[in-house]
Amino acid sequence: MSKNKPKTLDLERCMSEAEKEQALAKNGLVPKPGHETQPKWVALKGTRNCKSLGKPKYYSHKAIFTVEKITHDWVKEYEEKPNEPNSYAIPADKIDDFNKEILIKRF
């Protein structure tokens, strides 16, 4: 049995129907209209319960982004939520860079 570490990881984002449609059109994360300077939060797959985040209409969908492990290491350089382990902020000015690193997107 191989003891190699996985080369890819899945990151997830809980989102509204509207954000899902915008993300599909852009093929990745999108800034929230009126909040273009705020980061987008992603988490390691399986560590987030969308139903416990707030109003259900804002967290009714989940996107899974498969990235190379090196991308996850890059994401970890950014802010992590102390009360939500394994949640990372993608700075607004790095969203396009993050989107370029996504290998597989599932909505």
1 belongs to a structural domain: no
The CATH number of residue 30's host domain is: 3.20.170
2 belongs to a structural domain: no
Helices (H) and strands (E) in the chain, counts: 3, 5
What pLDDT sits at residue 13?
A: 94
49 belongs to a structural domain: yes
65 belongs to a structural domain: yes
19 belongs to a structural domain: yes
Query: Pick from 55, 54, 41, 51: which is nearest to 84 by CA?
Result: 41
Instruction: Tell me the mean pLDDT in the region 32-41.
Output: 88
Q: For residue range 67-107, list pLDDT tens digits in order.
A: 988 887 888 888 777 877 888 999 999 999 999 999 988 88
74 belongs to a structural domain: yes
Please state the domain count of the chain.
1
- Residue 1 pLDDT grade (very low, low, confident, very high; cuts 50, 70, 90): very low
Q: For residue range 40-51, list pLDDT tens digits in order.
A: 999 999 988 888
Domain hosting residue 52, numbered range = 8-106
% of residues, the chain, pLDDT over 70: 94
3 belongs to a structural domain: no
**Which segments of 1-107 does DSSP mark as H helices, in order?**
17-26, 69-75, 95-101
